[in-house]
Structure 1
Amino acid sequence: MSRRAVRFFVTGRVQGVGFRAFLIRQANALGLVGWARNRLDGSVEALAAGPEEKVAALIAAARRGPLLARVESLREAEADLAELGDAAGFTVGETV
């Protein structure tokens, strides 16, 4: 199984609707490591790593979002696995 790390940014109505909690539940169910955080510009940023197909499943879920969200765009970029260090699980990151 190939491992992949990806950073993605989601815009739209993604704050105040449980988007980070949704991502964390999805990522932990998939066994991924990383974090999700709000950004001051109103978007949500996430960094996720794990088996390639499970990372793809998280991105697909993020494109849908939770019930009250309205995703306008999702931009992704490859990330370095080293950015996560010895992270375990998927958590909330500090707003930037």
Structure 2
Amino acid sequence: MYYFLDIFVRDVSWYVYWEAILIGVLVATSLYFFTKNKWGSLFLGIPISAAYLSFVHHYSYHLILISIHVALQYLVLTMIEECTLRKKKRSG
């Protein structure tokens, strides 16, 4: 637990990591709207957020962040997919 707190909470880096994850989620969601490819947009969002994190803030991207990013992005894309399927069913 100390390792987790030392890396992610020290120097308020947790907010920077969430910012990178949010940017990756937004980019992957916009890719999903254009391509309708769930898994392709999911796995393209990870390198984009990792590149943002390393180039802009000079931080490294950890495995914990990748798992959080994949889970969050999967939930977002599944909710969007369910909404579009319901809309198509309702309209006939």
TM range (shorter): 0.3 to 0.5
Q: Could you tell me the TM-score, scaled by structure 2's length?
A: 0.38
Structure index of larger Rg: 2
User: Which one has a larger percent strand, Structure 1 or Structure 2?
Assistant: 1
User: Which one has a larger percent helix, Structure 1 or Structure 2?
Assistant: 2
